[in-house]
Structure 1
Amino acid sequence: MTLDPEQLGQSKADLAETLRTLRKRAGLSQVRLAARCNMSQSKISKIETAEIIPSLVDVELVMRALGAPEHLTAEVTALARMANTEWQPIRSSWRRGLEKRQAELASLEADADELRYFLPAMITGLLATPEYIRASLEYSPGDISKTVARKLERQVVLYDSTKRFTFLLTEQAVRWAVVPPPAMAVQIDRLASLSHLPNIRIGVIPIGTIISRGPMNTFTVYDDRLVTVETFTGRTVFRDSRDIAEHVEVFKQCEQKARFDDAARSILQEWSSLYR
């Protein structure tokens, strides 16, 4: 079985079919396999029909229960890792309409209690002013008015006191001039203002801060169940616990180096003044 990044969308069905075939070859019913794995028969059925994506732990339990050889277990585990990863090309979002993507993000934000944003390049829409949002969407095809409106609507979630937000921004992200200087000053002031909300932590990482692991991509961690990673051409969604844990660890390392509260606001005020 050869695995390729282009198979990400198909891997869920492939994994379900592979596990179903291996169970039948082993001569086990779903009930017997479920008993060996300490799972319900219903869960086994949903895994084999691709209704749910099994975690890597689930897959390892199933392969052990089937008595699969090590090389086959490694191969199926690799397929499971791909099934827990989803690639969403930006062109697909353009075709569907970027406002639909905003609805998906709003749903993710509504379902999460703790949200962590690592922002090495630009300010995220949740923290952005209308002028900044509109400027950041200039490259997008078609009418962006609906997308701007939906991004602004999403910002209401910041005032939900039951949720906890942590935003980590590099100096590059804060000071990248997306809009003219006066508007950049207003945008930076908005960051400082939002940092006063009790459920929001905004951390800044000035240039010169020593962090052995350099910033790579923008990413967001939703609780400990999902990570989205942004690139120029799209986004990757990780659901595998090991991928999530790795991103959480990177976030924590950067969080330890960031400036928060009054220290952050003092730096933000300095950067804002440079644009005035």
Structure 2
Amino acid sequence: MAHCPQPPRTEQLGQSKHELAALLKDLRKRAGLSGDRLAKRCSMSQSKISRIENGKVRPSLLDVESILRAVEAPSGIVAEVTTLARIANTEWQDIRSLRKRGLDKKQQELAALEASTTEFRFFLLSMITGLLSTPEYIRGSLAHSPVDTSKTVARKLERQQILYDTTKRFTFILTEQAVRWPLVAPSVMAVQIDRLASLTYLPNVRLGVIPIGGHMPIAPMDTFTIYDETLATVENTTGIVIHRDSRDIAAHLELFCTLESYALYEEEARERLAKWASQYRS
């Protein structure tokens, strides 16, 4: 009789944070260390150790590695805890749950995240993000949603005001596919592309487009956003993966740097955008 496979840990992201906290606390006790002594060995505050063990703070992978060295954890445990720490620093938000909770609630979360972020890096693989979209394009992107999206449209448009906050810096890299995918009617697409061109004049916005052509040996697989250098979100058809581990963020920063080198900017970008908009108008 066949046995059902055990679900992978990546399906248990919600509980991994608490599992990690309990395991780290148990390892400290097995090592015969007080919270204060462990804190000194790790060059952390005792209050931080306490918050980690109580699940109130999500430790970074570097924090976990420091604790494991301090408690002299055996190699087998190190591998298990390190894997658990990486999962604890990753979150999955599936689109079905987001819709059930209300897509406008996700917009409120994004607004709060954007308020606390100084530097934004967006790579857009297949469509235009809400911060750059016209109202018609936003409505078109939500046209097939089974729930009412009127509040979501309003929230997306409200969020666009952050582009005019000159204390923040934005870099948007869009593929030709993202710009030209015919999500809405041709005349509406032309206006949307015009909006992209107009945003290139904002002093705190750097917008680049990657035309199809030439040689680009690195091929991105997903749309992603990096907030400062502390968080990265990766989007696909079924949901969003949120990375907080510094190594995952570093990998996305390296990829973004490569993709930046493929893009056209300023006048070259505006000329290409004008050509694409003209093609829609014709």
- For Structure 1 versus Structure 2, the TM-score category normalised by the shorter chain is over 0.9
Counterpart of 2:228 (choices 223, 229, 232) is 223
Supply the RMSD in Å over aligned alpha carbons.
Answer: 1.2
**Cα distance in 2, alignment partners of residues 68 and 51 from structure 1:** 23
Distance 1:47 1:212 in 2: 42
Mapping for residues 151-190 of structure 1, pairs under 5 Å: 151-190=156-195
Secondary structure of 1:9 counterpart: helix
- From 64, 72, 81, the counterpart of 2:69: 64
Which 5+ residue runs of structure 1 have no aligned equivalent?
Answer: none
The aligned amino acid for 2:189 is: M
Deviation at 1:141, TM superposition (A): 1.8
1:208 is displaced (CA, Å) by: 1.2
**For the Cα contact (< 8 Å) 1:209–1:257, is it kept in 2?**
no
Name the residue aligned to 2:199: 194
Match of 1:142 in 2: 147
User: 1:69, CA displacement in angstroms?
Assistant: 1.6
Conserved 8 A contact 2:190-2:280: yes
Amino acid at match of 2:161: V
Moved >3 Å (runs of 4+): none
Choose 65-74 or 46-55, whichever is displaced more. Answer: 65-74
| Number of equivalent positions | 276
Q: What residue identity is the alignment partner of 1:95?
A: K
Aligned twin of 1:27: 32
The two structures have a TM-score, normalised by structure 1, of 0.98
Number of the residue aligned with 1:262? 267
In structure 2, the residue matched to 1:11 is 16
Query: Deviation per CA, 1:228-253, whole angstroms, max 9, x where unpaired?
Result: 11111110100000000000100000
| In 2: Cα distance, 1:165 partner to 1:104 partner | 19
How far apart, in 1, do the equivalents of 2:148 and 2:227 lie?
A: 30
Query: Counterparts in 2 of 1:222-241, with a 5 A limit?
Result: 222-241=227-246
TM-score normalized by structure 2? 0.96
Shift of residue 137, structure 1, vs aligned partner: 0.3
Cα displacement (A) at 1:209: 3.8
2:133 aligned residue: 128
Please list the CA deviations of residues 172-201 of structure 1 after superposition, one character each: whole Å capped at 9, or x if unmatched: 000000111000000000000011000001
Counterparts of 2:235 and 2:76 in 1: how far apart (Å)? 33
Establish whether residue 242 from structure 1 lines up as the match of residue 247 from structure 2: yes
List alignment gaps of at least 5 residues for structure 2: 1-6
Q: Indicate conservation of the 8 Å contact 2:9/2:87, yes or no.
A: no
Contact 2:107–2:156 at 8 Å: present in 1 too?
A: yes
Q: Distance in 2 between matches of 1:269 and 1:233?
A: 33
Deviations 1:150-175, CA, capped at 9 Å, x for gaps: 10000000000000000000000000
Percent identity of equivalent pairs = 63
Shift in Å, 1:3: 5.3
